[in-house]
Amino acid sequence: MEANNNNPLILVTNDDGIHAPGLERLIEMAGKIGKVVAVAPDQGRSGMSHAITIRYPLRIKKISEEKDCSLYACSGTPADCVKIAINQILDHKPDIVLSGINHGSNSSISVLYSGTMAAALEGGLHGVPSIGLSVTDHSSRPDFSASVLYGEKIIKNTLLNGLPEGVCLNVNFPKLPVEQIRGIKICRQARGIWIEEFDKRIDPQSREYFWLTGYFDNYEPDAEDTDEWALKNHYVSVVPIRIDFSDLNAMDKLTSAYAKAIT
């Protein structure tokens, strides 16, 4: 996927919603590089993955419009935001899609649950180089200085060089001051799982309900080529994510297994 480096059109979105400081910082950052159109959910839509809105209609509202920066709120999910931006708001396809800066990590398998990364994947499906950016800090006011410094390098590099076909980037910034960051590391998604610990409670009508809580169990904490290792060792992690989920090696194995087993 190639990109345009001359006053590029930048589509910005996120999953924390239109009021998130991370969106504001990403818009600022993008505004120094090109023309920005931001279309973000009108409320927080974390953990929405690649959900799309099909049972309800979508609404969009223009919040502000300046010469090189417009901002829209959309009633849908992050994936909806990218779809409606490309189809109804933008005059032409954006040169890059940026999603974030997410408040909280999207490393390892969190990529599957992440609305931030789904928006980037949606950009990738449309053939646009796309990047999801997240800082490993869930607070409402993270320190974005390192994210901005390294994010800008990654965005500019992507605009200059494009991305391999069918790939978008999952970028995570460690929660550290700039001077402690050791650089950018290209990684793979660490293997692991969220260990759920449902918090069971009883409501005033004596009925059970459950809050989803849990912690991440990294299956390979010592693997130096993973995003989890990079983040723990003070690197910005960059994972190339495929929009094609097929496993070609498994295809060969299954083809021979099925040829023997069933016809």
Q: Which of residues 85-114 bind a second copy (CB under 8 A)?
A: 86-88, 109, 111-113
Residue number with CB closer to a second copy (63 or 167): 167
Q: 142: closest CA among 194, 96, 101? A: 101
Interface with a second copy in residues 167-196 (CB under 8 A):
167, 183-184, 186-189, 191, 193, 196
Choosing from 65, 93, 209, 233, the residue that interacts with a second copy (CB under 8 A) is 209
Q: Which of 126, 129, 174, 237 binds a second copy (CB under 8 A)?
A: 126
Residue nearer to a second copy on the CB measure, 68 or 209: 209
Measured CA to CA in angstroms, residue 243 lies from 13, 14, 98, 133 at distances of 18, 19, 16, 17
202 makes contact with a second copy (CB under 8 A)? no
24-63 residues near a second copy, rule: CB under 8 A: 44, 46-55, 57-60
- Residue 253 tokens read as 């194995």
Cβ proximity to a second copy: between 118 and 135 the closer is 118
Q: Which residues of 36-75 are buried (b: 16+ CB within 10 A; e: fewer)?
A: bbbbbbbebbbebbbeebeeeebebeeeeeeeebbbbbbb
Answer whether the bond into residue 86 is a cis peptide, omega within 30°.
Answer: no
By the rule CB under 8 A, 208 interacts with a second copy = yes
Question: Which lies closer to a second copy via its Cβ, residue 67 or residue 91?
Answer: 91
Q: Which residues pair with 70 in a beta bridge?
A: 37, 65
- Which amino acid, residue 236? V
Minimum CB distance to a second copy smaller for 67 or for 247: 247
